[in-house]
Structure 1
Amino acid sequence: MTTRRPALVLASLLTLALTASACTNGEKEPTGGPSGTPSPTIAAEPDNLSFGVFGTEAEMVAWDSVLRDFNDGNRSTRANLVEWTSQKAGRDALASGDPEQVPDVFLLSRTDLRLAMDEELTRPVSELLDERGVDFGDKFSRDAVESFSLDGDLQCMAYSISPTVMFINEKFVDFDAMTERGLDVSSRWDRWRMPQFAEAARFGTRPVRGVSGVHIDATVEGLAPFILSAGGSLFDDDKQPTSLNFSSGETREALEEALPVLRDASITLPEDKLAKRSALEWFKRGKVSMIAGQRALVPELRREKNLQFNVMPMPYLGSAATVGDVHGLCISAETEHPGQAADLIAHLVGDKATVEVTKAGAIVPANLTVAASDDFLQKGQMPARSRVFNSAIRGIEFPPLVASWDELEKAVRPFVRQLLLDPGEIDLEAITEKIDEASRTVLSPETLEPSESPDDQE
């Protein structure tokens, strides 16, 4: 579902041009209409650009404001806001096959870049932005920019990058109180080891009050930071994967290190509670002390009056590692105005425009100047350690582009849930082999035997 919101533009300009008079018998006579009055010259109509975005209502207000600024400075171009109600709504519009539903410029999650490339929806932006002096080499997060580099070119301009971090309810996970009790607490704000994470989860568990210490989603994405930090890998190939890589020796060893904490029923959110509400809802209600998430959660959590929250990086099991997402600004392959579209992107990634959207609190800007400023850090507001988002970017690892991450998660869900939720002992070797086999139904179905199907593997 989309909503169009025209941004303000300069009033149409009407100019009267006095035309040079022709000479007749040495005298100048006025030219124009029959009465001799000058002919009015009307300024050309501006080119219309559509700009598709999704986000919070506060972000939509900010996007509208920065488009007004762009329009005020451009007599030849009018940019109009197309509001997608969600990332999925935007993806559906792009995948519709209707060129009219693809805006001239649009916000795209990296997870949808494969779709955009397969459907040939975008045109590279490198040369166009270079011509406009956009310094995407040093001015912007290199990780974010490189994540949109494909087929030897920059497909979209990185706008925001948000690593997965650990959100903490400080009412229950109080590091000062833990230190006073002699518990193992990290002395650093940007790193804590797995045993310290486990200690915090135990400290944050309050059985009498129905408070669990931690929840990690039973998904590939949920397990990924722990696997990567401990030296494992998610896929059998970083570029063209044919399956997940859970059954490899390195990944099994990583799981053996992480699962004793992540499977501990005495500190983790029970499955019966998850059947009633999401982990996020339980976190907001003060019934789970730690959950993993990205910056987009911050505005929603700030609205909870009784919630005192902060952030820490994902636990360290061998090296700093996490996952996350990047959003980029793309130019439609079908736009009739690629130059003006590039002008718009150059405006949007500038400091002033980026600050406007960043103040809404839901993004980590790829613009390094803004990311280091108080407009992002927002001192005096939760979380107090917003700089964790910036430091965590150094450990972010992006998976290879797949046709549908949702379909991949769906295919392996029963077996990943076994890893985290099955009571008692589990056969790690058998379950990880099933995960990899199930992943092939999405990543390389052509390699399966004719009789094989997802149902056969459950």
Structure 2
Amino acid sequence: MRVTRGLVACVAVASVLTTAACTGDSSDPAPPEPSPSSTAPPDKLTFGVVGPRDVQRAFRATVDAWNLNPDTIDVTIQSWPTQAAMRSAIEQGTPVPDVFMSSRSDLAWLLENQYNQPVDELLDERGVEFGDTYSRDALEALSADDHLQCMPYGVTPTVIYYNKRLVNFNRMRNRGLDVPDEDATSWSFDQFTTAAEFASRPARGSKGVDIAATVQGLAPFIRSGGGTVFDDEDKPTSLAFSSDSSKDALERTLELLRNPQVTLDETQLDEASAVRWFLRGKLGMIAGDRSLTPVLRQKSNLDFDVMPMPKLDGASTVGDVTSLCMSAKTASPSLAADFMVHEVSADWVGLVASTGYLQPANVEVALSDDFLQPGRRPEHSTFFNSSVRSMSVPPLIDTLPELEETVAPSLRQLVYGVGVLDLDALTTQIDDESKPVLDPESASDTASPSESPSE
């Protein structure tokens, strides 16, 4: 049934494009001379996809449906398991596919290397409804230089996954503990702390929660408590962990995260990842996005659900936006845009979303059963959608992995350190460590003594 619906949509789109091509304004000036690369249509297009096997199979089905139409140019798939693997292949010389998946975190890299071209005008000409179908935040996240650089495809807000046997709200409620109401759409950090303490059962070897000791892991709590992660959201020169508002948020958060009775310690994390502890039924809560859902579903006896990130003051979470981009060197931007319209249609996004890994940026599909999947865990998939409204993305820079690596030892000390915490000194150290990564020129000027003027 899905393939039939998709083919109908594909034929309809092809019909619209054919009609549009025959109704051009004859008063337009003569077209510019074609570039050598566009004198003839290409024999085929390439489509670069990223994801686990189930996702790759779903994308292959969308491409097979496209290729069934004899009036469309054939598309072949190139696939990689991760975004990092695709980026590495391109950096090593693999040609950029005509249309390819990318994450917003790699947009600075794409722009710097001129790997992509804007898609807003091409897709607008083809009737793609940006404003009604996609959140403004997703569109803004993929915009630069006054153009939409790539088309939103998925979003990845971080939520809290919890083990319903360890974090049993009904039992907690019966004991008079502070828990969210049954129909609650948010919860406080105090309620989150209570749940973590309840799930920590030394006799059973379980711990309550794990939050990654990373910039991204701590960012939702800093923002929720009124702090800021970077000194500037557009062009940061430093982290802002040592600002008064950020320190206040961290102090409240670390009271829980530094409690070794409730959280996994470094020895346990050296033994196994937090996800592995959760799969074993030995961890009450873990932060993650939608892509974690199919992984947890593989454990048939694991009863889990999701809640939004807890609130210190206001709602806040972090995430990324995945997208479809167009190569700057595609031989036919027009044909590539036609294929992009096919791929972002509700039917085909729904097919990919049905694998469980993808949270669609398309609002229509995000509200459909393809994504919500009633009757399957997690029960409250709607919290993925509501979390998009409070999701922030990092600044548009290409040094975030290097930043995380640079401040990692200090962040581990912040979260896992024992003894008295000197929050002022450690947050200042973290900010100082970030400066050579985020603003290397200023850091170099500060580190080097000024030269005396030559005589």
Q: With the length of structure 2 as denominator, give the TM-score of the two structures.
A: 0.87
Secondary structure of the corresponding residue to residue 291 of structure 1: strand
Determine which of 419, 424, 437 is the counterpart of 2:419: 424
Aligned 8 A contact 1:46 1:75 in 2: no
Are 1:237 and 2:232 matched, yes or no? yes
Q: 2:97 aligns with which of 92, 99, 103?
A: 103
SS of 2:132's partner is coil
Which among 168, 178, 181 is matched to residue 184 of structure 1? 178
Q: Which residue of 2 aligns with 1:159?
A: 153
Q: Which residue in the other structure is 1:331 paired with?
A: 326
1:108–1:146 CA distance, 2 compared to 1 (3 A): same
Structure 2 residue identity aligned to 1:386: S
Of 265, 282, 286, the match for 1:291: 286
Q: If each structure's helix is expressed as a fraction of its own residues, which one has the higher value?
A: 2
1:412 paired with 2:407, answer: yes
Query: Do residues 347 (structure 1) and 363 (structure 2) align?
Result: no
Deviations 1:310-366 (A, max 9, x none): 100001111110001110000000110111111111111101111110100001101
What residue is the counterpart of 1:146 in the other structure? Answer: 140
Question: What residue in structure 1 maps to residue 123 of structure 2?
Answer: 129
Within 1, Cα distance between the matches of 2:229 and 2:199? Answer: 30
In 2, the alpha carbon distance for the partners of 1:84 and 1:144 equals 24
> After superposition, what is the alpha-carbon deviation per residue over 1:232-271, rounded to whole angstroms, capped at 9, x for unaligned?
0011111111111111111111111211011111100121
Q: In the alignment, what sits opposite 2:201?
A: 206
CA shift, 1:449, in A, is: 4.3
Aligned 8 A contact 1:411 1:441 in 2 = no
Using the alignment, how far apart are the partners of 1:316 and 1:287 within structure 2?
A: 25
Select which of 11, 33, 53 maps to 2:49.
Answer: 53
Are the equivalent residues in 1 in contact too, given 2:189–2:312 (CA < 8 A)? yes
Per the TM alignment, residue 189 of structure 1 is displaced from its structure 2 partner at its CA by: 3.6
Deviating above 2 A after TM superposition, structure 1's stretches of 4 or more consecutive aligned residues are 44-47, 73-76, 93-96, 449-453
Q: 3-state DSSP class of the match of 1:289?
A: strand
Instruction: State the Cα distance separating 1:419 from its structure 2 match.
Output: 1.0
Pick from 172, 177, 181: which aligns with 2:166? 172
The TM-score with structure 1 as length reference comes to 0.87
Inter-partner Cα distance in structure 1 for 2:75 and 2:69: 11
Aligned-residue RMSD, C-alpha: 1.5
| 8 Å Cα contact 1:47/1:76 also seen in 2 | no
1:89 corresponds in structure 2 to 85
Helix, strand or coil: the match of 1:138? helix
> In 2, Cα distance between the equivalents of 1:154 and 1:411?
32
Question: Match for residue 242 of structure 2?
Answer: 247
Partner of 2:3: none
Shift of 1:452: 4.8
Q: Distance in 2 between matches of 1:450 and 1:375?
A: 54
* Structure 2 residue 306 is matched with structure 1 residue 311: yes
Equivalent pairs counted in the alignment come to 408
**1:215-239 CA distances to partner (integer Å, 9 max, x unpaired)?**
0001111100000001100111111
How far residue 166 of structure 1 moved from its aligned partner, in angstroms, is 0.4
Q: How does 1:8-87 map to 2 (within 5 A)?
A: 47-87=43-83
Unaligned 5+ segments in structure 1 are 1-43, 454-458
Q: Percent identity?
A: 47
Alpha-carbon distance in structure 2 between the residues aligned to 1:377 and 1:417: 36
